[in-house]
Structure 1
Amino acid sequence: MAKNHQHSKSEQIKKELHQAFDKLDRRFFISNIITCISVLLFVVLLLITIEEFQFLSSLAKYVFLFLGIASAASLFFWLRSKNKLDPFQVFYRKFAHSEHIEEINYFLDLEKDDLADPSLVNAALERNLSSIDFLKFKDRLDAYSESQYETQFFKNSLKLSVGLLVFFLITAFTFPEGTKRAFYIWKTFEKPNPYTFTVTPGDVTLEQGSPFSASINFENNQTPKTVSLFVKTSVEEDFRSLNMDPSPSGFIS
């Protein structure tokens, strides 16, 4: 009965250790993905902000998107290569040493020893496991896992992604036109004319040799520094420019 109890206890301890190790591995993998998505989201935010004021060409927007994807992918593989999770054996040894539960090392090492006498192994397991309180062990394992780099990286990457997502929503509502143009990546938009004006006369019939005068009136007190007016008759193929002089409400030829 005692043997079965100790065997069950050892299996529970091993299960908890493996679950903690697997959880750290999953968190680290998810953290890498979240970080890379955050980089891509930052590039999109930058694209929206620039598009709001600059009216980028479709080629420039494609280049922006390509650089964002390339940066995110490069960062993912770099993180995977530079920050590798310790093997399971190293993980439980570090935990046992930091929490002063060396009995875990002993019984796990004993179970892996295929050449040892089974009766001696069982006796050693019973002696080592008798001093371990499973509930306290589980609490200490949870606390140890929460203190590891992988868990901290996971929490920080979540905070970063949430912050960027909130900033993205604010940017999208602040710059709706820039957001719309940025997402129509295959289209090039032209900057609209900021001035509202009226040309007089719009269409007129004159006898040959008669003088012609045109005026351009701007609204809302928004007047450009210089204005060029091009006209042509029905028999002319090309437009010709008229000299425009400033007037109180606009320009006049």
Structure 2
Amino acid sequence: MSQSVQNPILRIESIVTSMWSKLRRFRTFGIVFGIVGIFLIVISLIFMLEVSLWMSPAVKTSALAISLILAALVGWILTRRFPEVLYPETLTDFTSKHDLEPLRNLLDLIHVQDDQKTSLLDAAIDQNLGRLREDDIRQKATLFTKNHPINDLFQQTGLIFFSGIVLLGIMTIFQQDAVHRTLAFNKAFEPDNPFQYTISPGDLVLEQGLSTSIKITFEDESPETSILEIRTDSEDEFRQIRMESDNIGSFTAQLPSLFDDHRYRIRMDSYKSQEYKIDVQLLPRFTTLKIRAELPEHTNLEDVIYEYPFTRIEAFPGSILHLEGQTNQELESLILHEKQDSENRELVLNKGQNQFQQEYIVTENDSLWFSMIDVNGLQNRNTFSFNIVAIDDEFPDVRLIQPESDLAILEPTQLDIIYQLNDDFGFSAVKLNYEVERSYGANRSQTGSLKLPTPAERTSTEDFNWDITEYGLFPMDKIKFWVEASDNDAPGGFKTSRTATITVNISSMTDHLLAQEEKEDDLMGQMQEFTEAYEQNQRDLENL
């Protein structure tokens, strides 16, 4: 076969081969565009849903998995519907549709093996070649490619791919938050909460076995319902506790006793707060706390034992409080705080670092509390605080029974004095104080005191015969006296009380006679009144 004949044949064969290669590329790109385009459209739709739905991690993961499965399914369907483009089938289809039987014969003849070529074969090649026009074949190949189903596949999936790119671009530009939330498929996101609120106590450390309350306070608008959601670290789902409204804009829920770490959040209608952690730990605390109050000796009272819980200890000044306690674990430090003196005493612990003993002397009202830190650095929350109330020792009560009031005597002889003593704990001293006032002379005023017996009992009635002749009293002189008693409160300071002052007037004979006459006149007046009353009664009886 000559060179002039071979070149047209190669060009014709190149047209057919190019057509076949183009269909193969269209098929490959069509399937890829279909898979990627469907995936992009579905993922964009998921982004759109996330804008308003705020999907959970499980839903987002499922949606992404469905988009991948759907894309894979589209790829499988397209692969089955548009099988691999083979050259022989493509050539047959092309020549049959466009009445190009000479082309089919020509391409078959040129591929005959060289050892089988004859002059007759060359003549057949020339004959078929003469019946073909290169431009006509090129036009028909273009038309064949344009009308082929694979070209439709390429155009349609290309449009789908372009639409997916546009949708994805729009979502990426205008809905970046939704795209970010969707791609972070293993994380949960919440919509912006319109409520302004404060949750207390927030994150907290709670002693094992204790309970607490959770409170939320809204600043402006309040939701219709507030629900506390709580779970342990081993639980997958939150348990719900309805919160009760205690006043306008405030809701509270009481938790039961907790023994494990918990997490909680508060649901406000369709919105949720952030999660808070309750760290349940075995905090240091006293397992036993005892106080023995050793009362002052003068009270003659037995010791008083207090065992926690207590909030108030009453003791007299001078009392000694013997404190002792044992903690639930080994301590690093234990400090006793005193409010009155602003003093902090670091207490000495035993070898096991969990016991202590301490003395405290009561002088005034005070408040005590403890702070303790264990070997792990944890600090107690229960301070075991209590108040010390210093009880005042009452003043003694001293009363004169006889004489009851001031009196006048003609001759200064002996005075019979009876007095009564009463105190809450007893007496340290009793005395009679006096003051002499003379009507004439150089030393007209004289004072002094007499020691009286101190009773052993808290309540006593005593009498004392006081000989006043030794004071050399004359008419118109006076002697004033009173009884004074001091209690036995040595630690707090002795307290003293006294009776009223009694004045004894030394009368002259004239004063005495005038007084007697005045008494007789009073007696006669009383007798006259009695007689008149008797006579009136008699007249009343006669009238009846």
The TM-score bracket by the shorter chain reads: 0.7 to 0.9
1:191-230 correspondence to structure 2 within 5 Å: 191-196=191-196, 216-218=218-220, 223-224=221-222, 226=224, 228=226
Residue 133 of structure 2 corresponds to residue 125 of structure 1: no
* Higher strand proportion: 2
Matched residue, 2:19: 20
Letter in 2 for 1:24: L
Residue 5 of structure 2 corresponds to residue 6 of structure 1: yes
> Hey, what's the Cα distance between the residues in 2 that align with 1:94 and 1:240?
77
> Hey, what's the Cα distance between the residues in 2 that align with 1:68 and 1:102?
47
Matched residue, 2:109: 110
Q: Is the Cα contact below 8 Å between 2:197 and 2:218 reproduced in 1?
A: yes
Displacement of 1:16 in angstroms is 1.6
Q: Is the Cα contact below 8 Å between 1:42 and 1:164 reproduced in 2?
A: yes
> Hey, what's the Cα distance between the residues in 1 that align with 2:86 and 2:109?
18
2:110 match: secondary structure: helix
1:12-161 correspondence to structure 2 within 5 Å: 12-114=11-113, 117-161=117-161
Displacement of 1:44 in angstroms is 1.1
> Hey, what's the Cα distance between the residues in 2 that align with 1:30 and 1:24?
10
Label 1:81 to 1:227 Cα distance change in 2 as closer, same or farther (>3 A): closer
Letter in 2 for 1:157: T
1:69 match: secondary structure: helix
Q: Is the Cα contact below 8 Å between 1:229 and 1:243 reproduced in 2?
A: no
Displacement of 1:228 in angstroms is 4.5
Identity of aligned residues (%): 16
1:243 match: secondary structure: strand
Label 1:121 to 1:229 Cα distance change in 2 as closer, same or farther (>3 A): closer
> Hey, what's the Cα distance between the residues in 1 that align with 2:52 and 2:35?
27
Label 1:96 to 1:215 Cα distance change in 2 as closer, same or farther (>3 A): closer
Residue 175 of structure 2 corresponds to residue 172 of structure 1: no
Letter in 1 for 2:246: N
State the number of aligned residues. 221
Displacement of 1:20 in angstroms is 0.9
Displacement of 1:119 in angstroms is 1.4
Moved over 6 A (4+): none
Matched residue, 1:243: 246
TM-score by length of 2: 0.37
Label 1:244 to 1:228 Cα distance change in 2 as closer, same or farther (>3 A): farther
Pairwise CA RMSD = 2.9
Matched residue, 2:282: none
User: Which has the greater radius of gyration?
Assistant: 2
Could you report, residue by residue, the CA deviation over 1:221-249 in whole angstroms, capped at 9, with x for unpaired residues? xx45525599xxxxxxxx9743345xxxx
Label 1:120 to 1:59 Cα distance change in 2 as closer, same or farther (>3 A): same
Which structure has more relative contact order (CA 8 Å, sep 6+)? It is 1
Displacement of 1:180 in angstroms is 1.7
- Unaligned 5+ runs, structure 1: 200-213, 231-238, 246-250
Matched residue, 1:202: none
Displacement of 1:57 in angstroms is 2.4
Label 1:97 to 1:217 Cα distance change in 2 as closer, same or farther (>3 A): same
* Higher helix proportion: 1
Matched residue, 1:233: none
Displacement of 1:32 in angstroms is 0.5
Label 1:87 to 1:242 Cα distance change in 2 as closer, same or farther (>3 A): closer
Could you report, residue by residue, the CA deviation over 1:1-57 in whole angstroms, capped at 9, with x for unpaired residues? x72222221122112211211110111011111101112112211221222222222
> Hey, what's the Cα distance between the residues in 2 that align with 1:229 and 1:129?
89
Residues 119-128 or 89-98, more deviating? 89-98
